[in-house]
Structure 1
Amino acid sequence: MLALSKNSLVVATVAALLLVGTAGAVSLNPRGQGQALIFPYYTTAAGNATLITLTNFGNDAKVVQLRIAEGENGRGAAALTIYLSQKDSWTGAVFDRGEGQAPALLSTDHTCTWPELTDSTTLPQLPDGRRYMPLGPLPADAGSTSLQRLREGFVEAVEVATIRRDSATGVAITPSSGVRNCAAVAARWTAPDGIWLRDPLQDLANPTGGLGGEVAVVNVANGSIFAVPALALDDYRADPLDNPRGTLASVARHSQASASMPSLLSHALSDPAAMTAKANLIADGRALQLTYPVPAQAVDAVSAVLMTAQMGAPFEESAESGARSSLVLTYPTRAFYTDTQQPGAQVPLAPFVRAFAGVLPLPEAGGLAYRVVDREAFYLESTFPQPGEGCGFTICPPTTLARLPGTSVEVLAPGGTPDPLLGTRLHGDIGFIGGSSLPQQNRAGWLQLTLAPGNPQLIGPLLRPSLEGYRLRGLPVIGTRLLTYVNAHAAPGMLANYSTAIAISSSAACIKTDATACQP
């Protein structure tokens, strides 16, 4: 079973929480439950379908907004509001509808949603009668205009509110003898008398957390499955005066979902009175709590817990065992810093240095320093010279870099090209400029990517300063490592595929605006 990037921030979050406290600060929950979930990858390319599961582990009914984001610019491809009763789960699938048609979201789950999906009478339907929601329309930006653009990306799910017990909404969404009254929920959004059109917070209270989920990329024909647990953010929106949690409605949000809605990850809030959002994390081995002004830098509280200076993962490339490795890099907040149509400040914003310009040809793409090391600590490939460090000669050779397409989802492979099981259009390349000797058959080891230079004097990309004057180095990214083995000799006439993953580890780094070390 594939696991999503377990970077050092996740592993060390427990220590951070003990040192700086948890109240009202965005943090990664290593146990996989929270208020906001990020599913790092979906795809319907190459015969894949993607299954999405949301589970309410909490004791309160929840309003959850689900947003499917295409992988080039993170623009919305579909959105749905899901009303989960206590201990309820919702499942859906993103599937391909063939050449010339957009992928679609389908569900046979009877949890109430708006707009209606399972019980819709207006959405298109399959021959067996199941209704589906086509993804799209295509964004009007610098990205590609092919419907293939919608075939891969990432998914967000955010608990925007809880539903008060014994309220009319709470009664409607809770199964009674196995039946929910989803028509009553739909009526609340329906003109002219829908109460939520006038008062969207009626029956609702602040979010309380306890949401979990996973996404599974399934290829029936090839017999492979990559199951990715969602990255969970705790205390995404909180109010210190809300005690116990879910008493007030001061940070609850509730609106009609639409495919064109912006990302749900820009509304972090830790204190409505102070208008600040905080983030708990580990950087350079220190527990930090950073504070950002809201709304101008609310998204930075989310980016802060994702900031990565270095990441690395084992890999295997072997013709004999049919082993292929791919690294999926997901930047869920990238569009807030690079999308030219984002309202507010002129992009690009730090830590990114280029505005979105479509899927960049690799000769024009930005590069990352990297190292490929075998299992005996022998360097198979390495960026040389390191950016900005020189080489000791009058004229340095071209720097070998891992080239990436500048998109919200990028796929990189130590073997040169990603696993064909993914069918990705958003692939990068290792050793693009210097003439890498990869791919090399029957190689295994580990790959390190450097998002901020190891030499602190070079600094590299920096997130905007917190109110404490701290800046995190690197980029806000989630890493997922996919590994496939193909056994051509499982049995006479039988070909067997095995799919799995090993967690990508990573580290964060911090520097003060005066270039001195950050202190807890």
Structure 2
Amino acid sequence: MRKTKLATAVSLAIAGSAGMLNTAQAVNVNPDGLGEVLLYPYYSVRNNQDTLVTVTNTTADVKAVKVRFLDGQNTKEVLDFNLYLSPFDVWTGVVTATENGARLTTPDNSCTVPAIPEDGVEFRNFEFDEPAEGVDTSLDRTREGHLEIIEMGVVTDSPSFAPAMAATHNGDGVPNDCSVLEQAWSGGGVWRGDGNVNIELNPGGLFGHGLVMNVSQGAAYAYQATALDNFFFFDPDFGFPFHTDPGTLLPGLQTADTVSTVFVSQQGATNVPTVVNSTWVNGLDATSSVLMHNAVMNYFVTNESIGAGTDWVITFPTKRFHIQTAIPTPPFTETFTADGACEPVGLAIWNREERAQTGGLDFSPQPPGGNALCWETNVITFNNSSVLGSALELNVDTSSVGPDGWMRLSFVNSIDDDHQLASLEGNTFFGLPAIGFATQEYVNGVDQAGVLINYGGMFDHAFSRQISGSGT
């Protein structure tokens, strides 16, 4: 296609969707991996695994960020704290198993409030069963889930209060004085009454990774966090409103700006890339819209001759906000029960030579009502290979096509069109807001010299989008 036609198509999409919105003021997924909000689809300490989490500040500013770990069943908070990143700083944390649950430790010097003890801080189950959920409320549930990191603003100094200087690393590679930040949130501290004191605007520039490690198996699965950019609405008259107390539930994915931007490359028969700008009743829908997909695709390898196994992780980061009320809000359709909040999905599978499955494909154990994903963090294994050893696991039997191939998991079908989210302009997004990846392991034992020769890898999911309306 000629460049002039492409430019015209994109311009028309912007103009027709939301009155020439400036995309710099709209929530979007940054394909370059930098943003204000980072979504990590999985952590686990099951199956002798540990999870390493990193976040990097690529800017010359001191950043205040919220770090929040969430369980995989119903996305209840299991640990939350404030992190203060020095300019160009990297923070690392490691989640490991305890006798009953999980613990976060860190070798890092960056300031946190509260401070993380040398022996770490254990995950909590205080929020479980509030309200009554009918599922496990023990600490074991904290061993698997996902996490989010949300920037709360840039920390600045004033003549009477210098928190940015306190958080900045000195020549020895340690912060000047983390106690200044702790005292600012203690008792009558300057941040206790108004967290926006010494907080200014200049958001973005964060990136992060997760690494699920199984030392005994000689395998590690690394992924890049999904980055949301232009997340908050900034009013120069009011500043940044979301520098909150450590341990609070705000800011969250529901506190986004109410406009969003999505780039869609496969809309229509002409395959013209389209920019869809939308306005929403609330920030939650804006966040969900940029993560909406009608299908997820990836490979599976389970060949026994090479000791191969495959698991998929599919996480719904915003699901908890859509199902908290008696009537769930779109695009989700079910409230949470003892079986979870099960959303129907479709499965289609092929081997590497284009042979499709014969008959229907079913998860096992079978969720209520047929094939469905019931949790906020879902793990799908193939042919019972169980790479991650998840307690949230569903199995797919691919014997009709063989041990290796690829699968399309769809959130939309011709019968059930409930998985929709409609903007104020009439842009309709089909599917569910999902992120995730696939893991593959190859277990080859040890060689003649006794050297472990197992290995593993991570593969990003491929996603498709389906959007109809004035913006497409």
Deviation string 1:337-363 (CA, Å, 9 cap, x unpaired) is 1134xxxxx431111111011345xxx
Q: Name the SS for the 1:52 alignment partner.
A: strand
- Report the CA distance between 1:481 and its aligned residue: 0.7
The aligned runs of 1:226-241 (5 Å cut-off) are: 226-239=221-234
The aligned runs of 1:386-465 (5 Å cut-off) are: 403-415=371-383, 417=384, 419=386, 421-430=387-396, 438-439=398-399, 443-453=403-413, 455=414, 458=415, 460-465=417-422
Percent identity between the two aligned chains: 27
Tell me what 1:289 maps to. Answer: 277
Give the 3 Å change call, closer, same or farther, for CA 261–62 of structure 1 in structure 2. Answer: same
CA contact (8 A) 1:462 1:471 kept: no
- Report the CA distance between 1:407 and its aligned residue: 0.7
Q: Distance in 2 between matches of 1:263 and 1:163?
A: 16
Tell me what 1:156 maps to. Answer: 148
Q: Distance in 1 between matches of 2:125 and 2:207?
A: 26
Tell me what 2:3 maps to. Answer: none
Give the 3 Å change call, closer, same or farther, for CA 306–17 of structure 1 in structure 2. Answer: farther
The runs of 5 or more residues in structure 1 that have no matched partner are 1-14, 119-128, 243-247, 270-275, 341-345, 386-399, 431-435, 513-517
Q: Name the SS for the 1:502 alignment partner.
A: strand
Q: Name the SS for the 1:488 alignment partner.
A: coil
Q: Does 1:217 align with 2:202?
A: no
The aligned runs of 1:49-128 (5 Å cut-off) are: 49-98=50-99, 101-118=100-117
- Report the CA distance between 1:287 and its aligned residue: 1.8
2:261 paired residue among 257, 279, 302: 279
Give the 3 Å change call, closer, same or farther, for CA 62–19 of structure 1 in structure 2. Answer: farther
Q: Distance in 2 between matches of 1:202 and 1:336?
A: 29
Q: Name the SS for the 2:204 alignment partner.
A: coil
CA contact (8 A) 1:43 1:152 kept: yes
CA contact (8 A) 2:103 2:121 kept: yes
Deviation string 1:60-82 (CA, Å, 9 cap, x unpaired) is 21100000000001110000100
Q: Distance in 1 between matches of 2:12 and 2:65?
A: 29
Q: Distance in 1 between matches of 2:301 and 2:373?
A: 23
- Give the counterpart letter for 2:393 in structure 1: H
- Give the counterpart letter for 2:375 in structure 1: T
- Report the CA distance between 1:220 and its aligned residue: 1.6
Q: Distance in 1 between matches of 2:56 and 2:89?
A: 6
Give the 3 Å change call, closer, same or farther, for CA 412–510 of structure 1 in structure 2. Answer: same
Q: Name the SS for the 1:320 alignment partner.
A: helix
Q: Does 1:36 align with 2:30?
A: no
Give the 3 Å change call, closer, same or farther, for CA 401–369 of structure 1 in structure 2. Answer: farther
Tell me what 2:171 maps to. Answer: 177
The aligned runs of 1:229-378 (5 Å cut-off) are: 229-239=224-234, 242=236, 250-258=239-247, 261=249, 264-269=252-257, 276-282=258-264, 284-285=266-267, 286-293=274-281, 297-340=282-325, 346-360=326-340, 366-378=343-355
- Give the counterpart letter for 2:395 in structure 1: D
- Give the counterpart letter for 1:429 in structure 2: N
- Report the CA distance between 1:17 and its aligned residue: 10
**Range with greater deviation from structure 2 (24-33 or 249-258):** 249-258
CA contact (8 A) 2:25 2:233 kept: yes
Q: Name the SS for the 1:47 alignment partner.
A: coil
Give the 3 Å change call, closer, same or farther, for CA 452–320 of structure 1 in structure 2. Answer: same
CA RMSD, 1 decimal: 2.8
Give the 3 Å change call, closer, same or farther, for CA 133–150 of structure 1 in structure 2. Answer: closer
1:476 paired residue among 422, 428, 433: 433
Q: Distance in 1 between matches of 2:240 and 2:416?
A: 36
CA contact (8 A) 1:405 1:427 kept: no
Normalising by structure 2, we get a TM-score of 0.86
Tell me what 1:4 maps to. Answer: none
- Report the CA distance between 1:165 and its aligned residue: 5.5
Tell me what 1:168 maps to. Answer: 162
Q: Distance in 1 between matches of 2:348 and 2:38?
A: 31
- Report the CA distance between 1:136 and its aligned residue: 3.0
Q: Distance in 2 between matches of 1:132 and 1:485?
A: 34
Tell me what 2:459 maps to. Answer: 502
Q: Name the SS for the 1:380 alignment partner.
A: coil
Q: Distance in 2 between matches of 1:283 and 1:148?
A: 42
Give the 3 Å change call, closer, same or farther, for CA 152–207 of structure 1 in structure 2. Answer: farther
Give the 3 Å change call, closer, same or farther, for CA 95–489 of structure 1 in structure 2. Answer: closer
Give the 3 Å change call, closer, same or farther, for CA 289–382 of structure 1 in structure 2. Answer: farther
CA contact (8 A) 1:160 1:207 kept: no
Deviation string 1:112-164 (CA, Å, 9 cap, x unpaired) is 1111114xxxxxxxxxx534343333511313123221110001000011112
Q: Name the SS for the 1:302 alignment partner.
A: helix
CA contact (8 A) 1:138 1:147 kept: no
- Report the CA distance between 1:369 and its aligned residue: 1.3
- Give the counterpart letter for 1:287 in structure 2: V
- Give the counterpart letter for 1:463 in structure 2: Q
- Report the CA distance between 1:22 and its aligned residue: 2.6
Q: Distance in 2 between matches of 1:439 and 1:17?
A: 48
Q: Distance in 1 between matches of 2:222 and 2:86?
A: 25
Give the 3 Å change call, closer, same or farther, for CA 365–428 of structure 1 in structure 2. Answer: farther
Q: Does 1:519 align with 2:464?
A: no
Give the 3 Å change call, closer, same or farther, for CA 16–316 of structure 1 in structure 2. Answer: farther
How many residues are aligned here?
A: 440
